[in-house]
Amino acid sequence: MAVRDDLAHLFRRAAFGASAAELDAAEQAGYEATVDRLLALDSPDGPGDAIPAPVFPPLPSKDDARAAVQWWLRRMAATAVPLREKIALFWHGHFATSIEKVKSAALMVAQNEVLRRQGAGDFGELTLAVAKDPAMLVWLDSNTNKVGHPNENFARELMELFTLGIGQYSESDVREAARCFTGWTFDRRSGSFVFRPGQHDNGVKTVLGSTGNLAGEDVIRLATTHPASARFVAAKVWSHFAYPVAVDDPVLDPLVAAYGSSLDVAALLRATFLAPEFLSDAARNGLVKQPVEYVVGAARALGVDAGGAEVVPVLNQLGQVPFAPPSVGGWPQNGYWLSTATAAARARFAARLVAAADLSAVASATPAARVEAVARLLSVVWTPPTRDALAAVAADPKAVVRLALVSPEYVVA
Amino acid sequence: MSEPRTFTRRQILGGALVAAAAGAAGYAAVSRPWQAVRSGSASAVRRGEGILVLVTLYGGNDGLNTVIPAADPAYQRGRGALAFSPAEVHDLGDGLGFHPSLAALARRWKEGTLAVVRGVGYPQPNRSHFRSMDIWQSGVPDRQEVTGWIGRWLDTETPDPLRALSLGPNLPRLLQGATTSGSAVPSMSANGATPFGGALARLDRPAPGEPALLARVRQTGTDLLAVEAALAKAGPDASSPDRSTGPLAQQLDVVAGAITAGLPTRVYAVSLGGFDTHAGEKATQARLLGEVDAALDRFLTSVSADARGRHAVVVVYTEFGRRVAANASGGTDHGTAGPVLVLGEGVRGGFVGDEPSLTDLDDGDLVMTTDFRSVYATLLDRVLDVDPVTALGRPWPVLPFV
């Protein structure tokens, strides 16, 4: 039988945590079979699809962004295919696009669907789809990139943040690539990508060592198949699902091999979850839950609505509002989430969540057994200092659960 | 107040002041050994009482359209429709003028309490927002460095969660040290005290030998209770900022409240984003600089009457300026060096350093004239009253703005 702690760790990273019943079933199935079940990303998602998609009025309003966030949070909490939502969240941080500039929740949700639909396929196709996505075209100014007056914003971030990393391309590559993307825009009414040949630079360009009348599609292909790209992508995936690493870390070797020449993201993820290092102490203690994971996971575990109107301000205080990353670099990790201010926000969130939750599973246990009942509820294992602190308040079921929600063992994924 | 003065490389090198260290090419500075005798009238920032307020403008504020060489034909040529005419700007002398939105700062310039350090940058400029901001916040341009220059100063001081505060939910690299870090406080702290603080205090007692991230969770919980207890004494300004103003003013309201309440904090970090003006720059920058102008003016006015607040020095910086030539989207792309603004009662107003040439460019970009580490060395020396070498690794010429 698979080790329960390993499975709980897997569900924290590849899903939004697991209930005791889910862990029981996974123990029977085994670790590798559970990985494959989580990776069955084409499975129907009845509960996720049942969350009604937000409908936006023709004139954008301030409420649109909140409606989009609430929809996605509820979808994440309800989904039967949690890894697909985690992958969409991961790519949202990677191809980080913000409604602050895009100004259209409808375009943001359309991009979100691209990340959900194509997130585990061919990275080259995903990158191309994102490059042509209207929200991205607005976000990085591609829609004003015209022959004779190239705008470098997208070309630079494509190489620096999306495919290669600093040091793998030159300033000349950025300028030349920007010329290749001239004429890429979209139709405001239909929300579809449009190529305007009259605005395209048909001159000869040299990008990443290739010369010719290159098109934007050529640049995407050159960047995503560049020798440095596979390790760049593997490092990004490992850093977000296991623990932060640099691109030269040997732990990435089997991931790069699995990703292969078909740029297979699902295979890369499978190699990640099956790597021995994924179950190391470094991995178990290596990531702080992102606020979205924290909020959705806690709401799921306690059976409380993850997308209530009060959750958006909580995410704002924790520093991670979906559709509004702080910059095109996405959200930083780990230490970024641990400040005095986020500690206060977590405590307030925990108090409110517990007030709304049905805690009978904990309340029905004797005070002496409550600390372990909470561990089962949240699928965590307490260290002795936390166990002592929880035991001190175990007379009150609400007090023990809210304290558990801000414990280091729960905050660190 | 004295008239704004101009310290240029030429004047400093030719005058009685000691020249900058040979080899440290191209910036105007005064070499000043650590703990040299201070000239009596040089600084109104009293030893050991300086308070540093760092204002980070995220996105790369367009320096050329902040301190504007409006009369320079090369500026008018490069910027086209984005250019301001000499009549539109607030004249600062030397052929330069403030952006029209900076009316209050122009007044403070005339009063002699605002210094403009010109052409500030670092060698081999990086045009990535993230890398460049990492460089500015770490103070280390030539390698990846996770700690910030203020964080490394914190490492040398007795640990105190109140010593450096960042406003906003997440801690910037700036305040991240190797063994300690500053604290982050929300700018809207009207939510009252943290619930179940007593239980939290017990939970977050240090647990020796714990993995780093778990220990960090406990540390932030402990620090939170200490910071909250201190801020509770900071009065109405800190707990109920005026919601009608913008985010920068709201953050600075908390800072003003904390300063007047006597918090032992020596460094405050506040920020404003949105300066990445690749398109439609004119309206966006006018709005943002208007917010900066109003927020800084409001802050300086509110602390000027306070005995401790008079020792506050406000520094405004960004990760890079923009290209000299505008793009076709009514905006500008990522550039290099730009001005750093320094404000406060204890600041010696005037220009520091040479204005970068608009014709002698490096691939379309300005060439820096002042190394950013000289700005930091000055702030460490004159405001925080410590040897700059501990945070910067080597001495840098101290500039005459404080």
Residue with tokens 């910059």: A327
Both tokens assigned to A52 = 């009604």
Supply the DSSP symbol for B398. Answer: B
Q: Which of A243, A280, A340, A381 to mutate to test the interface with B (most CBs of B within 10 A)?
A: A340
Is the pLDDT confidence value at B18 over 50?
no
Q: What is the mean pLDDT of residues B217-243?
A: 76
Beta-bridged to residue B164, according to DSSP, are B267
User: What confidence category does residue A37 fall into, taking pLDDT thresholds of 50, 70 and 90?
Assistant: very high
Is the pLDDT confidence value at B33 over 50?
no
C-alpha gyration radius of chain A = 22
pLDDT of residue B169: 78
Q: Where are the alpha helices (DSSP H) in A161-319?
A: 171-180, 216-224, 229-241, 253-259, 265-274, 281-284, 291-302, 311-318
Q: How many CB atoms lie within 10 A of CB B147?
A: 24
- Higher-confidence residue: A89 or B190? A89
**Distance separating alpha carbons of residues A168 and A162, to the nearest angstrom:** 12
pLDDT of residue A341: 86
Both tokens assigned to B331 = 């905006």
Is the pLDDT confidence value at B72 over 70?
yes
Both tokens assigned to A279 = 């179950």
> Which H/E stretch holds residue A211?
strand A210-212
Q: Pick the residue from chain A with its C-alpha nearest to B173.
A: A336
Is the pLDDT confidence value at B88 over 60?
yes
Supply the DSSP symbol for A364. Answer: T
Could you give the 3-state DSSP secondary structure of residue A17?
Answer: coil
User: What confidence category does residue A27 fall into, taking pLDDT thresholds of 50, 70 and 90?
Assistant: very high
Q: To the nearest whole angstrom, how far is the Cα of B331 from the nearest Cα of chain A?
A: 9
Q: What is the mean pLDDT of residues B63-82?
A: 97
Yes or no, beta carbons of B196 and A160 under 8 Å apart: no
Supply the DSSP symbol for A174. Answer: H
pLDDT of residue B14: 32
**Distance separating alpha carbons of residues B392 and B388, to the nearest angstrom:** 6
Yes or no, beta carbons of B186 and A345 under 8 Å apart: yes
Phi, psi of B269 (to 5 degrees): -120, 125
Residues in A 8-47 with any Cβ partner in B closer than 8 A: none
**Mean of all residue pLDDT scores within chain A:** 95
**Distance separating alpha carbons of residues A207 and B342, to the nearest angstrom:** 42
**Distance separating alpha carbons of residues A98 and A105, to the nearest angstrom:** 10
pLDDT of residue A133: 97
Is the pLDDT confidence value at B73 over 90?
yes
Both tokens assigned to A354 = 């517990």
Supply the DSSP symbol for A159. Answer: I
Q: What is the mean pLDDT of residues A374-403?
A: 96
* pLDDT, tens digit, 9 for 90 and up, residues B135-157: 999 999 987 787 899 999 999 99
**Distance separating alpha carbons of residues B331 and A382, to the nearest angstrom:** 54
> Which range is least confidently modeled, A5-14, A125-134, B184-193?
B184-193
Rounded alpha-carbon distances, angstroms, from residue A333 to A291, A338, B262: 11, 9, 33
**Distance separating alpha carbons of residues B281 and B40, to the nearest angstrom:** 44
Is the pLDDT confidence value at B32 over 50?
no
> Which range is least confidently modeled, B227-231, B315-319, B369-373?
B227-231
Residue in B130, B169, B203 nearest the CB of A341: B169
* pLDDT, tens digit, 9 for 90 and up, residues A40-93: 999 999 999 999 989 898 887 878 999 999 999 999 999 999 999 999 999 999
> Which range is least confidently modeled, A18-32, A258-272, B131-145, B275-289?
B131-145
pLDDT of residue B235: 57
Q: What percent of chain B has pLDDT over 70?
A: 85
Beta-bridged to residue B343, according to DSSP, are B114, B314
- Higher-confidence residue: B371 or A63? B371
pLDDT of residue B15: 31
Phi, psi of A397 (to 5 degrees): -55, -40
Is B161 near chain A, with CB under 8 Å? yes
Q: Which of A50, A89, A51 is nearest to A70 (CA)?
A: A51
Is the pLDDT confidence value at A169 over 60?
yes
Phi, psi of B92 (to 5 degrees): -110, 0
